[in-house]
Amino acid sequence: MNYYSLNKKAPNTTFKNAVIKGLAPDKGLYFPESITPLPADFFKNLDNLSNSEIAFTAIKQFVSPEIPEDVLKTIVEETLSFNFPVVKLDENVSTLELFHGPTMAFKDVGARFMARCLGYFNKNNTNEVTVLVATSGDTGGAVANGFLGVKGVNVVILYPSGKVSDIQEKQLTTLGQNITALEVDGVFDDCQDMVKRAFLDEELTSKMQLTSANSINVARWLPQLFYFIFAYKQLHNTHKKIVFSVPSGNFGNICAGMMAQQLGLPIHHFIASNNKNNVVTTYLKTEEYNPKPSVQTISNAMDVGNPSNFIRIQEIHKNDFGALTENLSSYSFSDEETKEALAHIYKTYNYVADPHGAVGYLGCKAYLKNNNDVHCVFLETAHPTKFLDVVEDVIKEKQPLPEQIQEVMHKTKVATKIGSYNDLKSYLLNN
């Protein structure tokens, strides 16, 4: 499979090169040259396939022939070493739990898959690769864990000071080895802008091989399509049309779901559930796309004012606004509404959600008001104990810490503070 830049001003390239480079030379995101739908029988027979078999079939066309099938099977099995249960709340609403991996966030899938792909590509390479990644919360920990100890790969994570939860910060600042954390005086968009600027800095790129592990990277983004298929496998016997409500920040996750749909997965509709960072919600109402500075909320992983992956969503829909709005709805919710939803979910279903899942639940309820003949699945993207201060304050119930969280709580944070792109550049050149 070859990939092209969405800016259409760079040569097409291989999967390997797209993974290693992250961004195209013309600053565009890479997108696969073609998407071949899978046979209808594949989706009808999901009950007879393991998660690893499903994922291998779904991803194979996007990585072949550069990753041999036996290697790809191993990568997939190692990536999917945990479960993706669907929990039914009532006749119309379920949640897909994506927090059973090592860092208890949905990004474990993409980070582990990408780390193994990059490790394979770099196994005979004497040159080191530096993975540069910005995080608004969970990406940092997932990438740090996924790449820990990978030969020939150094990871540098930028995160906004004071704007990630304590547990998220511990997960990305305590691992050591080939993982470095840079604490940025700013917001997530500042971190993301620094990363993009570094890729375009010829003085830097002439001295080191940089790549990104944000969802702009095809190997981080594409494997997220797996769990939409896993959810459908668990729900297709409900005999209702299935709608996914995705808590959306950088829009990589919902975009991956749309790729699963392109492969033939019978998804009826998508909901982009936003917090107050609602560029896309506004766009779908006005057809005017106006990125703006992000604002801080209690669902911090969605605090993105200029979502990188939305251009991929537009490409999937051939830049046809009508086609996009047929397939995608979007709603925006305040912190107060999110807290009310957390309390309601706990009181009504005895289920503890995290703030991002609560936003997804609100998206379900908003859509179901006028579409009561569907089954709506909201993605529970991180374990609620990663947001203890918010969750415990709302539900008034002490939450036990899972083993994965307990492991990092007493470790010592190690991070270097930076305030500007020049600080980042200086750090990379001198370390």
From first to last of the 431 residues of the chain, give the pLDDT tens digit. 999 999 999 999 999 999 988 889 898 999 999 999 999 999 999 999 999 999 999 999 999 999 999 999 999 999 999 999 999 999 999 999 999 998 899 999 999 999 999 989 888 777 788 999 988 777 788 888 888 888 888 999 999 999 888 888 998 898 888 999 999 999 888 998 899 899 889 999 999 989 888 788 999 999 999 999 999 999 988 879 999 999 999 999 999 999 999 999 999 999 999 999 999 999 999 999 999 988 989 998 898 999 999 999 999 999 999 999 999 999 999 999 999 999 999 999 999 999 999 999 999 999 999 998 999 999 999 999 888 889 999 999 998 888 888 888 888 999 999 999 999 999 999 98
Give dist(CA 358, CA 343) in Å, integer.
Answer: 9
**Mind giving me the DSSP string for 161-225?**
TT-S-HHHHHHHHS--TTEEEEEESS-HHHHHHHHHHHHT-HHHHTTSEEEE-STTSHHHHGGGG
| Catalytic residue from among 8, 60, 73, 107 | 107
At 77 the three-state DSSP class reads: helix
| Biggest CA-to-CA distance, the chain | 59
Signed CA dihedral, 201, 206, 212, 218: sign only: positive
Global pTM reads 0.91
List the Cα angle 352/357/361 in 5-degree steps. 95
Strand partners, 272: 246, 330
- Rg of the chain over Cα atoms, rounded to whole angstroms, equals 20
**How many other C-beta atoms can be found within 10 angstroms of the C-beta atom of residue 252?**
28
Cis peptide before 307 (omega within 30 of 0): no
The domains found in the chain, sorted by start residue, are 69-105+220-395 (3.40.50.1100)
Any catalytic annotation for residue 425? no
Give dist(CA 286, CA 210) in Å, integer.
Answer: 38
